[in-house]
Amino acid sequence: MILSKQKPWEEILSYLDGENNVFILGCNGCAQASGTGGPAQVEEMKNKLGEIGKKITGSAVIDFLCEKALVKSRLRNKVEQLEAADSILVMTCGVGVQAVSAAVNKICHPACDTVNLGGSRGEWRGSERCLECGECLLDYTGGICPLTACTKGLINGQCGGASKGKCELDPEKDCGWELIYNRLKGLNQLNKLRRFIAPKDYSKMMPDVKIISTSHWALERTDQKEGG
Ligand code: SF4
Ligand code: SF4
């Protein structure tokens, strides 16, 4: 399972600044289990955004937003609602936001931060990867994770070493920042590259201490106390 927590309301609102029409996507997988993007949270988000005058052009909760083919097939009957939206607010983990961004040619805003549960994960295999950094940057990078798409994990642009679109450290691999540039260009969002992203606070990777105490760490502590 991938654990996520909802981003602060002010941050979500800042993403939607200047946009009036929003499509909301939730996930019936890990996001529902995390209580961040299941049917209840999507309904709540629709109401909150409606109260401040945003028009919700449509919404959907899909079983696994981390599966691009599934996302595409489930959104086939939502084309008009998606076309009417300025953007999609995606209420799930970083893998899911990346998969939706790759599947739908639309601005995708992450509504959640993905945190590290320290255990095994159930995400679909794909080109999308998330380091569970606890402070999702996908809004600024066109839905492509700079921490995983860039070999050096750079968060403020290209290192300058790329050659013909390939990474200087791995010529077999596309340069993550060229992918980000091209995605943002296609979405007419290159202005997002002007924003400076502060160094990451990796303490945010960890889940809330209440969750830690229900995970395997707590079991290990119990074992240690019992001399196991
Ligand atoms: S920025 Fe990347 S690593 Fe961090 S939560 Fe988003 S997808 Fe995951
Ligand atoms: S060439 Fe591109 S992917 Fe490789 S380290 Fe530099 S910015 Fe990152």
Q: How close is the Cα of 197 to the center of ligand 1, in Å?
A: 13
- Inter-residue contact 101 to 183 (CB < 8 Å): yes
Cα gap 37→44, rounded to integer Å: 10
Highest mean pLDDT among 73-82, 123-132, 209-218: 73-82
Whether the pTM exceeds 0.85: the reply is yes
Residue 115: CB partners within 8 Å, gap ≥ 6?
3, 4, 5, 132, 134, 204, 205, 206, 207
Closest residue to atom 2 of ligand 2, CA basis: 175
Residue closest by Cα to atom 4 of ligand 2 = 167
How far apart CA 137 and CA 201 sit, in angstroms, is 12
Distance in Å, CA 179 to ligand 2 centroid? 10
Residue 200 exposed, middle or buried by CB count within 10 Å (0-12, 13-18, 19+) = middle
Taking a C-beta distance cutoff of 8 angstroms, is the pair 7, 211 a contact? Answer: no
Q: Which of 11-15, 21-25, 157-161, 224-228 has the lowest mean pLDDT?
A: 224-228
CA atoms within 13 A on the CB side of 62: 25
Residue to probe by mutation, ligand 2, list 147, 155, 156, 158, most atoms within 8 Å of CB: 158
Separation of CA 132 and ligand 2 centre (Å): 20
Q: Which residues lie with the beta carbon below 6 Å from any ligand 1 atom? A: 94, 113-114, 130-133, 136-138, 145, 147
Q: How far is the CA of 131 from the centre of ligand 1 (A)?
A: 6
Among 7, 109, 112, 137, say which to mutate for ligand 1: greatest number of ligand atoms within 8 Å of CB. 137
pLDDT digits (tens, 9 = 90+) for 27-63: 999 899 899 999 999 999 999 999 999 999 999 999 9
Residue whose CB lies within 8 A of the most ligand 2 atoms, among 127, 144, 145, 152, for a mutation test: 152
Which atom number of ligand 1 is nearest to the Cα of residue 94? 7
Question: Which comes out higher in pLDDT, residue 116 or 87?
Answer: 87
Q: Lowest mean pLDDT of 19-23, 31-35, 163-167, 213-217, name the range.
A: 213-217
Nearest atom in ligand 1 to the alpha carbon of residue 131 is 3
Q: Which pLDDT band holds residue 162 (cuts at 50, 70, 90)?
A: very high
* Level-2 CATH architecture, domain 3-209: 3-Layer(aba) Sandwich (3.40)
Average pLDDT for residues 198-209, to the nearest whole number?
Answer: 86
Residue 57 DSSP SS3: strand
SS3 content of the chain, % helix, strand, coil (to 5): 40, 15, 45
Which residue in this structure is represented by tokens 């945190």?
A: 115
